[in-house]
């Protein structure tokens, strides 16, 4: 089964796709190139258009403008039942009037697979998700995780060219979510099936994806590997949607022959080689863990930018302590890893923050 699927694995190409619900434009000129066999994630907050985009690929929802190609085939105007893109629904959508086996058999029957092949393929699919023993149960007699597996088996058994997963983990509790995450990933690797995964959870996206497209407001904000997106976001939205970010607005200037970023309240960071033109407004972005906190007067590492400030409050998060430190008019977040017993700074303490300039990104938007 896996070999057959691998051979037929197709990429998905989306060209200038726009889509509206009545007057509301939900997708605005989407372009994407999803490679055969990769696990690709649409990540975004609710209302960003990620589910609409997934539904457009499977042929549901209003007719879009632009083109959708699966492999070399233009499927834009095909009805859902002729696309052979397998979709796992958020609610699983298992038919309650059928047993697990009947659910999984359904697609093969609809696609006129010879009766002699159906039994073996259904058994193989059930085995793949570890549900051979529950084949005669009704969906209502299964746990959430088991229902999820049935939904997967039902979709995989027809050997779709692409697998679409619409927030598949959102109805599961936290522990099960982590487990199913691994199982889905394992299955995807085994079948080498091009998979598109929709989620609003950055942890899910980071742990599972080969590549991620971050969506907001119907527009693709950035496409890249998880690490790339975290370390080098290209705009404020991506920077703050993936993890916590300090964002300072300012301008790039030439000061004594050197290119520096300077904020109105005096924070200045060297910006050589940052690829931003002099005189331009931009935003400096750095993660809380890129700052080091130390009591004022202590020695700090050389070559780093020094910022003096006052601790406003702190939050204990277990593995780290997060300080909010006022520097001029800005409040910067600073993370300090925590291991037991170490003294922490208190609210009101005067501190010095040091920032390695290599950790700073300059965003044009």
Partner 1 sequence: MNIFARGQWGPATVALFLGLFLFVFLIVPVGKVIYVAFQDPNSGELTLINFIDFFNTSLFRESFINSFYVASMSVVLASVFALPLAYFTTRFNFGGAVLIQTLGIIPLIMPPFVGAVAMLLLFGENGSVNLILGEWFDINIPFMEGLNGVILVESIHYFPFILINLSAALNNIDRAMEESAQNLGSSGMRLFRRIVFPLAMPGYVAGASLVFLKVFDDLGTPLLLNINNMLAPQAYLRITSIGISDPMGYVISVILVAFSLLALWTSFLAIRGKDYATVQKGGGGLMKRGLRPMEKVGCYAVVIFILLLVLSPHLGLAILSFGTVWSYSVLPDAFTLDHYSYVFSTSSQFITNTLLYAGLAATIDVVFGTAIAYVVWRTKLAGRKWLDFIAMGAVAVPGVVIGIGYLRTFFDYNVPIIDKPLASWWVIIVIALAIRRLPYALRACVAALQQVSIILEEAAENLGASKRRTVSRIVVPLMSGGIVAGFVTSFATASVELSATIMLVSTESDAPLAFGIYEFMQSAAGRGPGAALGIIAVLIVGIATYLSHRFIERKETERAPDVAATAGV
Site string for partner 1, 40-59 (x = CB under 8 A): ------------------xx
- Binding to partner 1 (CB under 8 A) within 321-360 occurs at none
Determine the Cα–Cα distance for residues 24 and 62; give it in Å rounded to an integer: 12
Which residue spans within 190-319 are E strands per DSSP? 195-199, 211-216, 219-224, 246-255, 258-262, 268-270, 281-286, 291-295, 305-316
Q: Which of 56, 72, 74 is nearest to 64 (CA)?
A: 56
| Most distant CA pair in the chain, distance | 81
Closest approach, Cβ 138 to partner 1, in A, equals 9
Query: Dihedral of the CA atoms 212, 221, 360, 241 (nearest 10)?
Result: -70
- Binding to partner 1 (CB under 8 A) within 88-107 occurs at 89-93, 95-97, 106-107
Specify the residue for token string 């290599």: 358
Site string for partner 1, 290-309 (x = CB under 8 A): --------------------
Site string for partner 1, 58-87 (x = CB under 8 A): xxx------------------xxxxxxxxx
The HSE-up count of residue 98 (CA atoms within 13 Å, CB side) is 15
Q: How many CB atoms lie within 10 A of CB 140?
A: 8
Closest approach, Cβ 107 to partner 1, in A, equals 3
Comparison of 164 and 351: residue with beta carbon closer to partner 1: 164
Closest approach, Cβ 187 to partner 1, in A, equals 18
Exactly one of 5, 100, 129, 167 binds partner 1 (CB under 8 A); that residue is: 167
Comparison of 107 and 224: residue with beta carbon closer to partner 1: 107
Footprint of partner 1 (CB under 8 A): 58-60, 79-87, 89-93, 95-97, 106-107, 110-111, 140, 154-155, 158, 166-167, 171
């Amino acid at each position: 089964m896996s070999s057959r699927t691998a051979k037929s694995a197709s990429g998905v190409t989306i060209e200038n796709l726009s889509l509206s619900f009545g007057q509301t434009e939900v997708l605005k000129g989407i372009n994407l190139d999803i490679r055969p066999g990769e696990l690709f994630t649409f990540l975004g907050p609710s209302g960003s258009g990620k589910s609409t985009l997934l539904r457009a690929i499977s042929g549901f929802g209003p007719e879009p403008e632009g083109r959708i190609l699966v492999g070399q085939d233009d499927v834009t105007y095909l009805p859902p039942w002729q696309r052979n893109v397998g979709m796992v629904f958020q609610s699983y959508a298992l038919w309650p009037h059928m047993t697990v086996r009947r659910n999984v058999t359904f697609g093969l029957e609809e696609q006129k697979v010879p009766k002699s092949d159906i039994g073996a393929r259904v058994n193989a699919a059930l085995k793949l998700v570890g549900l051979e023993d529950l084949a005669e149960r009704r969906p209502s007699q299964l746990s959430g995780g088991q229902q999820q597996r049935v939904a997967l088996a039902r979709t995989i058994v027809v050997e779709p060219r692409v697998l679409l997963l619409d927030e598949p983990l959102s109805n599961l509790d936290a522990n099960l979510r982590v487990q199913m995450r691994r199982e889905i990933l394992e299955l995807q690797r085994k079948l080498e099936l091009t998979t598109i995964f929709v989620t609003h959870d950055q942890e899910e996206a980071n742990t599972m994806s080969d590549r991620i497209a971050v969506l907001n407001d119907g527009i693709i904000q950035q496409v890249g590997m998880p690490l790339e997106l975290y370390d080098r976001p290209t705009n404020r939205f991506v920077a703050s949607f993936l993890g916590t970010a300090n964002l300072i607005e300012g301008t790039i200037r030439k000061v004594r022959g050197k290119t520096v970023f300077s904020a109105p309240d005096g924070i200045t960071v060297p910006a050589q080689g940052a690829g931003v033109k002099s005189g331009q407004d931009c935003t400096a972005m750095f993660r809380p863990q890129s700052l080091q906190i130390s009591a004022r007067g202590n020695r700090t590492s050389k070559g780093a930018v020094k910022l003096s400030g006052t601790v406003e409050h702190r939050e204990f998060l277990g593995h780290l302590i997060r300080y909010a430190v006022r520097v001029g008019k800005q409040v910067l977040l600073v993370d300090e890893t925590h291991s037991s017993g170490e003294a922490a700074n208190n609210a009101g303490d005067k501190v010095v923050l040091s920032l390695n300039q290599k950790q700073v990104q300059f965003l044009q938007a």
